[in-house]
Structure 1
Amino acid sequence: MPTAPPSHQLRLAVGKDGGPEIFRSFQGEGPVAGQVRAFIRLSGCNLHCRWCDTPYTWNWQGTDYEHVDGEKFAPAQEMLRLPVEEAAASVLALAAPGVVITGGEPLMQPKALEAFCQQTKSGQPDYRLEVETNGTLKPSQTLEQLVDLFVVSPKLPHAGHEEDVAAPALANHRGNPRAVFKFVAKTPGDVETVRRLTGGIETNRIWIMPEGRSPAELDRHLTTITPAVLDAGFNLTDRQHIRLFGDTRST
């Protein structure tokens, strides 16, 4: 497999140590929850969810985006650029069976993302590539072939978007057998919305996750949504990293 052109750079979030947010941990959500992964967090997002747990990747000073924390961030302090060769080497050095490429929204950097995936696979062909995305941007055929798992998180109305962003996300990925769908929910009504939106998609590809950035908030919403999730036949996922490490960077 060809290596990436040297000109490509990734825009990465800043981790808790002040360097790029590349780290090793357990995946806390979705179909591979509990498994060890390397993580790399890209900066920038085309959506602006009011409950997002990584607002430092998009809620910049000078913007009017609303967020529950009310804090704005300086891009110069929260974003680093790293050549894909260095990023891939850092990820592979973490001794994990695969990497979760998250954000922000990774597909905002399509060429650099492709180059990173090619570089990583060239160093370790069996290495597993998993991308977390809001689904609104359709991946290229090259990226679809490189990535082993797309975890697509279409946003429901409670995320604070005026337009319908869930339907396009589903349309972009429902035909990809390597894609699963993870919805954030607070109420049984949210689960019913998912049921309505996902007609025709196998229920074993759909995961419901409680909204929450603390164990207490997760518990409250889990209690509320669990009966509806069971009734719909969807998968239920927790947010294990919040319980293990709290709502902190690089975990």
Structure 2
Amino acid sequence: MNHEAWSEAQSSQTVEVDGHDVEMAYYEAGAGETVVFLHGIPTWSFLWRDAATDLEDDYHVVAPDLVGYGNSAAHEGFDRSIRAQEQALSDLLDALDVETCTLVAHDIGGGVALRFAAHQPERVEKLVCSNVVCYDSWPVEFIVNMGLPKTEAMDPAEFEAKLDFAFDDGAFGEADPEFVAGMKAPWLREGGQRALARAAVSTNTNHTTEIDYGAISAELLCLWAAADQMQPIAYGERLAEELDGDLQRLDDAYHWVPEDRKDVYADRVREFLAGDT
């Protein structure tokens, strides 16, 4: 599925979250047990186009755009931190009448998932973390440097070159052109450059260092790209040890592990959901 088709599938699916006039867009398909996919920065739910669609014949899959990202609201005047994203996730699940679910998360989506699983452990049965932010692992220099006012002042060509560096050069091997085009698309719209800057300055390591990881009761699988320099595998090992979970090392992958290892990613998640790992 290309990014235009993914956006079209989201077009009539939005909810108001966090008690404000903030719309959260989401992809939804399938029936059965709910699996929620949470992306990070600077991506959007299109990151999960393969994993989510692979599972939707057997599960109820939901892949939201975090507020401020993708097709969700991107205007001024609301919080984009992972603390706020946790509340938005809770509001989304309430709106969809989802009582319990599995969370599959990447990057800052992992920080959102970990906070939610610690604060509402009864709602999270299983947790898949892939190169997620946790403890004091973030923010990373590349994202910090995308914050205001620097990004807002960039020439559009320079800004797009930064995105190409992240998504094209940041892939393991030759990047799929549709992945690169899709990841860039929301940020290249009018106002997208400022929206990314707003998201970048909302990254706050306190929002993961303050988590009571011992409160998380969900069964954990860490699917971690071993070669990632932004979220090193040592953090995945620490998370798996503390939560008594399983860590599976995925070679031939950098930070975009659901994309770099899409040949096995959905299969590993499916096995975990079925209790085969």
> TM-score, structure 2 length as denominator?
0.36
Higher fraction of helix: 2
